Amino acid sequence: MTKSQVSLRGRDILELQGMSVPEMELILDTAREMKNVIDRDIKKVPTLRGKSVVNLFFEPSTRTRTSFELAGKYLGADVVNITTSASSVVKGESLRDTLLTVEAMGVDVIVMRHEAEGSSHYAAKVVKPVIVNAGDGQHEHPTQGLLDMFSIKEKKGSIAGLKVAIIGDILHSRVARSNIWALLKLGAEVRVAGPRTLLPRDMDRMGVQVYDRVEPALEGADVVNILRIQKERQQKGLFPTAREYARLFGINRARLDLAKPDALVLHPGPMNRGLEIAPDVAYSDQSVIQEQVKNGLAIRMAILFLVLMGGTNVETSA
Amino acid sequence: MLKLVLKGGRIIDPAQKIDKVGDVLIEDGVIAKVGGDIDAAGAEVFDARGLVVAPGFIDMHAHLREPGQEAKEDFASGTRAAAAGGFTTVCTMPNTRPAVDDAVLVNGLIRRAELERLVNVKIIGAVTKGQEGKELAEVGDMLQAGAVALSDDGRHVANAKILRTGFEYAGMFGGLIISHAEEASLVEDGFMHEGAVSAMLGLKGRPAVAEDIAVGRDVMLAEYTGGRLHVAHVSTAGAVELIRRAKARGVKVTAEATPHHLTLTDEAVIGYDPATKVNPPLRSQEHVDALVAGLKDGTVDCIATDHAPHAFEEKDVEFRYAPSGFTGLETAVGVVLTGLYHSGKLTLPEVIEKLAAAPARVLGLEAGSLKAGAAADVTVLDPAAEWTVDSAKFYTRGKCTPFEGKRLKGRAVATIVGGRFVMKDGEVCG
Ligand SMILES: [Zn+2]
Is B24's pLDDT higher than 60? Answer: yes
Q: Are A268 and A228 in contact (CB under 8 A)?
A: yes
The CB density around residue A207, as the number of other CB atoms within 10 Å, is: 12
Residues in chain A within 8 Å Cβ distance of B200 = 17, 177, 206
Question: Between helices A142-156 and A289-309, what is the axis angle to 10°?
Answer: 120
Q: Is B63 annotated as a binding residue?
A: yes
Q: Considering only CA atoms, which of B378, B386, B377, B376 is closest in space to residue B411?
A: B386
Identify the pLDDT of residue A93: 79
Measure B178 CA to ligand 1 centroid, in angstroms. 9
Query: Could you check whether the bond before residue B98 is cis, i.e. omega within 30 degrees of 0?
Result: yes
A55 contact B CB<8A: no
Q: What share of chain B is helix, strand, coil (3-state, %, to 5)?
A: 35, 25, 40
Q: Are B305 and B327 in contact (CB under 8 A)?
A: no
Residues in chain A within 8 Å Cβ distance of B185 = none
Identify the pLDDT of residue A43: 84
pLDDT (tens digit, 9 = 90+) per residue, B81-126?
A: 999 999 999 999 999 999 999 999 999 999 999 998 899 999 999 9
Q: Which residue of A has its CA nearest to B315?
A: A94
* CA angle centred on B314, ends B312 and B317, rounded to 5°: 100
pLDDT (tens digit, 9 = 90+) per residue, A25-54?
A: 999 999 999 999 998 888 888 999 999 999
Q: Is B180 annotated as a binding residue?
A: yes
CATH superfamily of B3-53+375-428: Urease, subunit C, domain 1 (2.30.40.10)
- Which candidate in A43, A91, A121, A155 is catalytic? A91
Q: Which residue of A has its CA nearest to B321?
A: A89
- Least confident interval from A38-47, A254-263, B38-47, B306-315: A38-47
Q: Residue B15 carries which DSSP code? A: G
The CB density around residue A52, as the number of other CB atoms within 10 Å, is: 18
**Across the interface, which of B195, B313, B316 has its CB nearest the CB of A201?**
B195
Highest CATH level, class, for B58-363: alpha beta
Active site residue B47: no
Q: Are B362 and B301 in contact (CB under 8 A)?
A: yes
**How many CA atoms does the CB half-sphere of B87 hold within 13 Å?**
34
Q: Are B229 and B219 in contact (CB under 8 A)?
A: yes
Identify the pLDDT of residue A130: 98
B250 contact A CB<8A: no
* CA angle centred on A270, ends A264 and A275, rounded to 5°: 75
Q: Return the number of CB contacts < 8 Å for A and B.
A: 74
Q: Which residues of A are annotated as a binding site for carbamoyl phosphate?
A: 63-64, 113, 141, 144, 269-270
Q: How do B192-193 and B176-179 pair as beta strands? A: unpaired
Q: Considering only CA atoms, which of B117, B243, B95, B230 is closest in space to residue B167?
A: B230
How close A44 comes to chain B (CA, Å)?
37
Give SS3 for A179: helix
Alpha carbons A37 and A42: distance in angstroms, whole number? 8
Measure B76 CA to ligand 1 centroid, in angstroms. 22
Domain range list for chain B: 3-53+375-428, 58-363
Q: Do B199 and A117 touch (CB under 8 A)?
A: no
Q: Is B64 annotated as a binding residue?
A: yes
Amino acid at B351: V
Identify the pLDDT of residue A318: 38
Sheet with A130-136: list strands edge to edge: A78-83, A52-57, A109-114, A130-136
Q: Do B316 and A117 touch (CB under 8 A)?
A: no
Residues in chain B within 8 Å Cβ distance of A122 = 272, 317-319
- Could you write out the three-class secondary structure of B72-126? CCCHHHHHHHHHHHCEEEEEECCCCCCCCCCHHHHHHHHHHHHHHCCCEEEEEEC
Q: Do A202 and B319 touch (CB under 8 A)?
A: no
Query: Could you check whether the bond before residue A46 is cis, i.e. omega within 30 degrees of 0?
Result: no
Alpha carbons B354 and B301: distance in angstroms, whole number? 6
Q: Which residue has the higher pLDDT, A61 or B262?
A: B262
Measure B339 CA to ligand 1 centroid, in angstroms. 22
Residue-by-residue DSSP string for B200-260: HHTPPEE-HHHHHHHHHHHHHHHHHHT-EEEE-S---HHHHHHHHHHHHHT--EEEEE-HH
Ion ligand 1, residue ranges at CB < 5 A: B 153, 180
The interface predicted TM-score of the complex, written ipTM, equals 0.91
Alpha carbons B137 and B163: distance in angstroms, whole number? 11
How close A45 comes to chain B (CA, Å)?
37
A201 contact B CB<8A: yes
**Span B141-156, average pLDDT:** 97
Phi-psi region of B279 (alpha: psi -120 to 50; beta: other; left: phi over 0): beta
Residues in chain B within 8 Å Cβ distance of A93 = none
pLDDT (tens digit, 9 = 90+) per residue, B165-219?
A: 999 999 999 999 999 999 999 998 899 999 999 999 999 999 999 999 999 999 9
Q: How do A264-266 and B3-13 pair as beta strands? A: unpaired
A17 contact B CB<8A: yes
- Could you write out the three-class secondary structure of B142-185? HHHHCCCEEECCCCCCCCHHHHHHHHHHHHCCCCEEEECCCCHH
Q: Are A180 and A240 in contact (CB under 8 A)?
A: no
Residues in chain B within 8 Å Cβ distance of A205 = 196, 199
pLDDT, mean over chain B? 97
Alpha carbons A162 and B77: distance in angstroms, whole number? 60
Question: What is the longest distance spanned by two Cα atoms in chain A?
Answer: 55
How close B316 comes to chain A (CA, Å)?
8
**How many CA atoms does the CB half-sphere of B336 hold within 13 Å?**
32
Q: Are A289 and A56 in contact (CB under 8 A)?
A: no
Find all residues with CB under 8 Å of A44, minimum gap 6, and list them: A73, A74, A76, A318
**Span B402-417, average pLDDT:** 98
Give SS3 for B38: coil
Q: For the CA atoms of B293, B414, B123, B227, what is the dihedral angle to 10 degrees?
A: -30
Q: Considering only CA atoms, which of A187, A176, A181 is closest in space to residue A153?
A: A187
Alpha carbons B131 and A85: distance in angstroms, whole number? 34
Q: How do A163-167 and B378-388 pair as beta strands? A: unpaired
- Which candidate in A51, A65, A113, A260 is catalytic? A113
A216 contact B CB<8A: no
Which residues, given as ranges, of chain A have pLDDT below 70? Answer: 1-4, 85-92, 311-318
**Span B208-231, average pLDDT:** 98
How close A43 comes to chain B (CA, Å)?
37
Identify the pLDDT of residue B347: 98
How close A7 comes to chain B (CA, Å)?
23
**Span B323-342, average pLDDT:** 98
